[in-house]
Amino acid sequence: MAAQNSTRPADAAPPSGAPRGPVARALRLLEAVDRHPHGSTPVELAAEVGLPIEAARRLLRTLEREGYLQRLDDGAYVIGGALALLGEGSRELMIQSRLLAKLSSLRDELGAAVYFSRYQDGEVSVDVVVDSPSTPSVHEWVDFRATGHASALGKCLLGQLDHDGRRDHFFRHPAARFTPSTEIDQTVLLHRLDRQPATVPVLDLQEYALGTVCAAVPVTAGGSVGALGFSLPLDQSFRLRETAETLASRAAPVLLALSL
């Protein structure tokens, strides 16, 4: 399992439950402003989203400068004209906002860092990571594009490809050993992917990183290949299978957020 942007600036570290990363924070601020058509102040928005006030002010000024927000005479913010002009881009923004909200809720329910990944242009892409100080994400010590054979997300994505698609992936990304548990025999890997039931969560038992276990389930919207996963420290591995079953049962709302 791999995570993006695991390093946070010291002055911008969000509290537990706050959105992670500047893009995620901006989306949550936009969503919060949209819930208040008559305007909301920076203090109110920071509290609603769970951000330090200065971090919220900086993002609000940036969003105002780009035209996504408008600042009223009393200092409150409303949605700006740029969003109305985005067309399909605005729809994508709202999809991302809904997805982030669903994943944040799922993180809290599972008590684990949650990940959304897609297979795009022949590569494994971890698009969203939602964690917190009490549910830390996995440190990306190897580029996630090279971890398809070892991570739960990667194996879940590859399992949705046909046999030729999997062979092509391994041709471009030969399996490398990350831990003693990493399987690198391509024949064995292909056999396991062929036999993996679509309804059973895919597991990673310290295959990508020592001290971490993960699980993932397919989340496919339209023609896209996606996966939803979580990670746990090894000392919580006793929760892995039960949490994976909960993840599988909660995948439908995430799929709905992607489809609307």
Listed in sequence order, the residues at least 6 apart from 39 whose beta carbon sits closer than 8 Å to its beta carbon are: 72, 74, 76, 77, 78
Q: What are phi and psi of 79, to 5 degrees?
A: -60, 135
CA–CA distance, 42 with 64 (Å, rounded to integer) = 12
Structural domains of the chain ordered from first start: 10-85 (1.10.10.10), 97-259 (3.30.450.40)
Q: Model confidence over 120-131: pLDDT tens digits?
A: 999 999 989 999
Task: Please check the confidence at residue 132 and state whether its pLDDT lies above 50.
Answer: yes
Categorize the per-residue pLDDT at 17 as very low, low, confident or very high, splitting at 50, 70 and 90: very low
Classified as helix, coil or strand, 10 is helix
Please give the pLDDT value at position 8: 34
Asked if 157 contacts 118 with a C-beta cutoff of 8 angstroms, the reply is yes
Beta strands in the chain (DSSP E): 69-71, 77-79, 113-120, 123-130, 202-205, 212-218, 225-233
Total residue length of the chain: 260
Please give the pLDDT value at position 94: 66
Range of weakest confidence among 5-14, 62-71, 176-185, 243-252:
5-14
Please give the pLDDT value at position 251: 85
Please give the pLDDT value at position 63: 86
CA–CA distance, 144 with 162 (Å, rounded to integer) = 21
Q: Model confidence over 29-86: pLDDT tens digits?
A: 888 888 888 899 999 999 998 899 998 999 899 888 877 789 999 999 998 876 655 5
CA–CA distance, 155 with 51 (Å, rounded to integer) = 35
Residue, of 226 and 257, whose pLDDT is higher: 226
Listed in sequence order, the residues at least 6 apart from 238 whose beta carbon sits closer than 8 Å to its beta carbon are: none
Long-range contacts of 33-36 (CB under 8 A, 24+ apart): 33/69, 33/77, 33/78, 33/79, 34/79, 36/78
Helices (H) and strands (E) in the chain, counts: 10, 7
For the beta sheet containing 202-205, the strands, ordered from the edge strand earlier in sequence to the opposite edge, are 123-130, 113-120, 225-233, 212-218, 202-205
Mean pLDDT, the chain, whole residue set: 84
Asked if 254 contacts 228 with a C-beta cutoff of 8 angstroms, the reply is yes
First-last CA distance in the chain: 28
Residue, of 110 and 22, whose pLDDT is higher: 110
